[in-house]
Amino acid sequence: MRSFILLGAVLPFAQAIRIIQANDDGWAEANARTLFNSLSAAGHDIVLSAPAENQSGTGSSDAAPKQVDADGCEFSSCPGGSPPTGANSSDPRLNYVNSFPVTSMKNGIDVTGPNLWNGAKPELAVSGPNVGSNVGPTGLISGTVGAASYAAHTAKIPAIAFSGRSGDPTAWDAPTPLHSKVYADLALNLTTTLINSGAPYLPDDVFLNVNFAAVSDSSCNDASQFKFIFTRVNTGLLSAPDTEWCGSTRLPWEVDVIYLRGGCHVSVSAGDANDKSTTEAAKQKVVSDKLKSLLTCL
């Protein structure tokens, strides 16, 4: 198996930009920290602003952060009684917000990021990679998707929600799981391709819902084995036609690609940040044009 560390070196150069990162599994979870390290190593000015605790399934909930309770942050990453927001003592780019994923993303966009960027706002928002898939109707209750749709719709910042089928919540200081490394490689590849396409990175009110297939020691254990498939969030049975892609005006359903087809696939859906459904065909085409060097047909 080739080294994951080398993947960033062989990807096309991407202009370094300011990126805000959130998730719903908590600021100390391995998937988020592995992607943070990968994007940082690629030269991006990234700031993590994520919940103090696991907040999976909280959708678009938003509430003022509260003082951390006596149990402390997840994985003992901050002591009990810590303030509502805080930063890693050795790296101010790593921040917790004791509230929901949307609140964490909002705080990162409006407060933490600008404080570290001399008042500037992020140029791109990423959420995840989530522990577990967020395909189809699951996205409606996902905090990972909620954070990305908030960034795209309310804050008007292009956003990507990353989710991976494999794994369990893992502490940042445990040995890095194989799936975290593979998912970080795949996320870096897509992020680099999108940045290289030039600003504006995505159409207004559009976020990308990106899901990675299962990883194991024996299959799909290297990012190079994966194929990126352009998909849609909902089935589309009663929807207007999609943009033409791979000879059809109906894109594959992301549930089908990740759960039913099998194989090493990444589903990439252009989501409508207003309601977390599939965006219109004209905006899908903008996305497919930007990512065409990465996308392939089933």
Q: Residue 4: is its pLDDT beyond 50?
A: no
Structural domain including 119 reads 17-296
Q: Is residue 7 part of a domain?
A: no
- For residue 14, what pLDDT is reported? 66
Quote the CA–CA distance of 112 and 156 in Å, as a whole number. Answer: 17
Q: Is residue 218 part of a domain?
A: yes
pLDDT at 2 over 60: no
In tens, the pLDDT along 151-169 reads 999 999 999 999 999 999 9
What pLDDT sits at residue 148? 98
Q: What is the mean pLDDT of residues 276-285?
A: 98
In b/e form, how buried is each residue of 44-83, taking b as 16+ CB within 10 angstroms?
bbbbbbbbbbbbbebbbebeebeebeeebbbbebbeeebe
Question: What CATH number does the domain containing 266 carry?
Answer: 3.40.1210.10
pLDDT above 90 as % of the chain: 93
Confidence of residue 13 (pLDDT cuts 50, 70, 90): low
> What integer pLDDT is reported at residue 79 of this predicted model?
98
Q: What is the pLDDT of residues 220-254, one digit of tens each?
A: 999 999 999 999 999 988 899 999 999 999 999 99
139: pLDDT strictly greater than 60: yes
In a domain, residue 2? The reply is no
* Beta strand pairing call for 18-22 and 124-131: parallel
Classify residue 230: in a domain, yes or no.
yes
Average pLDDT over the chain reads 95
Position 214 in a domain: yes
pLDDT band at 15 (very low <50, low <70, confident <90, very high): confident
- The answer as to whether 102 is a domain residue is yes
What is the tally of structural domains in the chain? 1
Look at residue 1 and tell me whether its pLDDT is greater than 80.
Answer: no
